[in-house]
């Protein structure tokens, strides 16, 4: 693609890379806009990306991901000791950690926080599901409030007992969704639903604290004095405006009013602005970074002409797949590749563990001649493909992709496919019931582990499955892989991915790319596949 020179891996700093002073600016206030106000900052209820991007700077857990997305100790002194049978994890806590109100953090605070997260059953409460006692705490009309698999032998030792070996457990502990973050019982119990909404009760352990908020207008944060962690914050303040127009936010950035655009879960910028900047004198301030979302076309394996895993139905799926020129699709629908990149390395997004590798997915091939031959053999009289509809939910990108698919299927196969758009919530509800024969499907990973994709999407009966596909061999491989540590499990996950490829389970389309603008005087700002770099690593240089 023309933009390939700008495409980054998200594994290193992307701001402050050009020539600039090494002296700090006098004003260490970091300013940026968001276009969706926060919904909650309660770690037990986090779901939206915008909420998590703020929460990671206000709260801490036992472990975290660094900017390169490696799991590293956070409040834990070191990585945990794990029993030989893989069921018991013993964490030793730092003794210098304090809440922003000065209270010390102990193992009992983690017991309270994890018990609460399990009982509340927020969007990621199931991250705790492998802990002994989870079913009792989350049962309907449960009277049990404590996960029996959690214990605190002393103030700085936290022990977790799992019900079965779980190779991805530490990934869930470190996940940026922060279900396992520690919260202050004294404020949460007093105002369980609203404690996070006010600066005086939003007590965390992170390097920053909220000092002001006007809903739907602005948020302000300050560095916590004598914060216990490292690196110590250089930024003194963070000011965030909640805006409606992304183009006006970019205009204010260009006039010097913001230091970045893209932080806070706002990394999908207007294509016309991105293309304008890309072709102008400030092009070095534009950075395109692969994110953790993949989009594909799903078939229906419960009814319709594509339902059988083998035979003519498989040939028919392959015909529709090979008829798509993904480079053309990305060029047309994704603003010349600035908002997405061709998905040619499997369904797990580029840069994540489980990614098959660049150009390693044979389903990403384009071969219209072979496609027409397969179609003629599988549907000689055209009756099977005479009344197909492609279903999607509304957005400018989804509309552009649908129209491009429609055009290519007509041109390369001679098959007309109608387009039907359904409101977002209804679309997903109907997709879960396998009502659509052909449909847009996508997934934004919750954390960097193949289990997140396979358990949620790909195994038989997965809660977010959109196609009704079932393969016992794949299920067995995933079960084995989930019990192993990732390095040992990679081969099983790779084999499971190959089974889906061999079955032509999907039509790969694109990986989402985030667009960011960074002033050259920013040092330490950036983003990886999942999250923006932490505020305490950012400095504003003289400019």
Evaluate if residue 259 carries a pLDDT over 50. yes
Domain span holding position 491: 291-513
Question: For the chain, how many residues are written?
Answer: 543
Same domain for 81 and 148, yes or no, is: yes
Decide if 103 contacts 136 (C-beta within 8 A).
Answer: no
| Pairwise CA distance, residues 288 & 512, whole Å | 10
Residue 7 confidence (pLDDT): 42
| Pairwise CA distance, residues 24 & 543, whole Å | 9
Decide if 173 contacts 63 (C-beta within 8 A).
Answer: yes
Q: Please check whether residue 336 lies inside any domain of the structure.
A: yes
Same domain for 256 and 139, yes or no, is: no
Residue 6 confidence (pLDDT): 40
Last residue of a domain, one of 188, 217, 243: 188
Same domain for 467 and 344, yes or no, is: yes
Same domain for 332 and 361, yes or no, is: yes
Residue 539 confidence (pLDDT): 98
Output phi, psi for 160, to 5 deg: -120, 125
For residues 27, 215, 528, 328, the Cα torsion angle rounded to the nearest 10 degrees is -120
Same domain for 358 and 411, yes or no, is: yes
Same domain for 30 and 119, yes or no, is: no
Last residue of a domain, one of 156, 188, 220: 188
Same domain for 350 and 246, yes or no, is: no
Q: Please check whether residue 217 lies inside any domain of the structure.
A: yes
How much of the chain, in percent, has pLDDT values that exceed 90? 90
Residue 10 confidence (pLDDT): 42
Q: Please check whether residue 202 lies inside any domain of the structure.
A: no
Segment 511-534 shows an average pLDDT of 96
Residue 18 confidence (pLDDT): 55
The CA-atom distances, in angstroms, between 514 and each of 272, 288, 303, 320 are 15, 6, 36, 29
Evaluate if residue 2 carries a pLDDT over 60. no
Decide if 361 contacts 296 (C-beta within 8 A).
Answer: no
pLDDT band at 184 (very low <50, low <70, confident <90, very high): very high
Same domain for 244 and 347, yes or no, is: no
Mean pLDDT of the chain: 94
Residue 306 confidence (pLDDT): 98
Instruction: Please state the domain count of the chain.
Output: 3
Q: Please check whether residue 354 lies inside any domain of the structure.
A: yes
Q: Which residue has the higher pLDDT, 17 or 289?
A: 289
Distance from CA of residue 21 to its chain's centroid?
Answer: 35
Same domain for 56 and 163, yes or no, is: yes
Last residue of a domain, one of 188, 221, 244: 188
Same domain for 99 and 225, yes or no, is: no
Q: Please check whether residue 283 lies inside any domain of the structure.
A: no
CA triple 331-442-335, angle to 5 deg: 20
Q: Please check whether residue 327 lies inside any domain of the structure.
A: yes
| Pairwise CA distance, residues 242 & 133, whole Å | 41
Segment 315-330 shows an average pLDDT of 97
Pairing of strands 71-73, 63-65: antiparallel
The 3 state secondary structure assigned to 70-125 is: CEEECCECCCCEECCCCCEEEEEECCCCECCCCCECCHHHHHHHHHHHHHHCCCCH
Same domain for 302 and 450, yes or no, is: yes
| Pairwise CA distance, residues 462 & 475, whole Å | 10
Q: Which residue has the higher pLDDT, 1 or 15?
A: 15
pLDDT in tens, 337-362: 888 999 999 999 999 999 999 999 99
pLDDT in tens, 380-428: 999 999 999 999 999 889 999 999 999 999 999 999 999 999 998 999 9
Q: Please check whether residue 313 lies inside any domain of the structure.
A: yes
Residue 17 confidence (pLDDT): 54
Same domain for 109 and 10, yes or no, is: no
Evaluate if residue 289 carries a pLDDT over 60. yes
Evaluate if residue 479 carries a pLDDT over 70. yes
CATH code of the domain in which 536 resides: 3.40.190.10
Q: Please check whether residue 200 lies inside any domain of the structure.
A: no
**Radius of gyration of the chain measured on its C-alpha atoms:** 24
CATH code of the domain in which 354 resides: 3.10.105.10
């Amino acid at each position: 693609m023309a933009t390939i020179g700008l495409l980054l891996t998200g594994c290193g700093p992307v701001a402050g890379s050009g020539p600039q002073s090494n002296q700090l600016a006098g004003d260490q206030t970091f300013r940026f806009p968001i276009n969706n106000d926060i919904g909650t900052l309660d770690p037990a209820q986090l779901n939206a990306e915008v909420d998590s991007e703020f929460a990671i700077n206000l709260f801490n857990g036992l472990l975290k991901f660094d900017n390169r997305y490696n799991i590293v100790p956070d409040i834990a002194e070191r990585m945990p000791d794990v029993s030989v049978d893989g069921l018991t994890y013993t964490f030793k806590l730092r003794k210098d950690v304090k809440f922003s109100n000065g209270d010390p953090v102990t193992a009992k605070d983690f017991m309270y926080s994890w018990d609460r997260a399990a009982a509340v059953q927020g969007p990621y409460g199931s991250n705790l599901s492998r802990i002994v006692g989870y079913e009792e705490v989350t049962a309907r009309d449960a009277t049990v409030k404590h996960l029996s698999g959690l214990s605190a032998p002393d103030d700085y030792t936290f022990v977790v007992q799992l019900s079965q070996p779980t190779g991805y457990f530490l990934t869930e502990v470190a996940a940026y969704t922060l279900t396992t973050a520690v919260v202050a019982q004294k404020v949460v119990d007093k105002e369980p639903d609203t404690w996070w909404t006010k600066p005086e009760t939003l007590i965390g352990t992170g390097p920053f604290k909220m000092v002001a908020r006007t809903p739907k207008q602005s948020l302000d944060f300050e560095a916590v004095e004598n914060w216990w962690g490292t690196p110590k914050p250089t930024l003194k303040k963070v000011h965030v405006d909640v805006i409606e127009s992304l183009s006006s936010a970019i205009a204010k950035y260009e006039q010097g009013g913001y230091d970045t655009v893209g932080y806070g879960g706002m990394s999908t910028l207007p294509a016309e602005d991105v293309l304008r900047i890309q072709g102008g004198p400030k092009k070095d301030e534009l950075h395109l970074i692969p994110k953790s979302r993949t989009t594909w076309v799903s078939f229906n394996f419960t009814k319709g002409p594509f339902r059988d895993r083998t035979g003519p139905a498989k040939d028919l799926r392959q015909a529709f797949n090979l008829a798509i020129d993904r480079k053309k699709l990305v060029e047309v629908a994704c603003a010349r590749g600035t908002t997405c990149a061709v998905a040619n390395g499997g369904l797990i997004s580029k840069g994540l563990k489980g990614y098959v590798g660049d150009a390693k997915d044979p389903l990403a091939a384009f071969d219209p001649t072979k496609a027409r031959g397969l179609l003629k053999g599988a549907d000689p009289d055209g009756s099977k493909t005479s009344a197909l509809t492609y279903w999607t939910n509304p957005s400018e990108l989804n509309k552009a992709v649908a129209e491009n698919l429609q055009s290519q299927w007509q041109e390369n196969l001679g098959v007309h496919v109608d387009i039907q758009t359904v409101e977002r919530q209804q679309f997903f509800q109907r997709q879960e019931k396998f009502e659509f024969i052909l449909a847009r499907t996508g997934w934004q990973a919750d954390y960097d582990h193949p289990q997140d994709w396979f358990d949620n999407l790909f195994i038989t009966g997965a809660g977010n499955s959109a196609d009704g596909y079932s393969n016992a061999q794949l299920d067995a491989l995933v079960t084995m892989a989930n019990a192993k540590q990732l390095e040992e499990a990679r081969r099983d996950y790779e084999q499971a991915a190959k089974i889906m490829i061999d079955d032509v389970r999907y039509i790969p389309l694109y990986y989402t790319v985030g667009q960011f603008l960074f002033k050259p005087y920013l040092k330490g700002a950036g983003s990886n596949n999942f999250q923006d770099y932490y505020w305490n690593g950012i400095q504003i240089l003289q400019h």
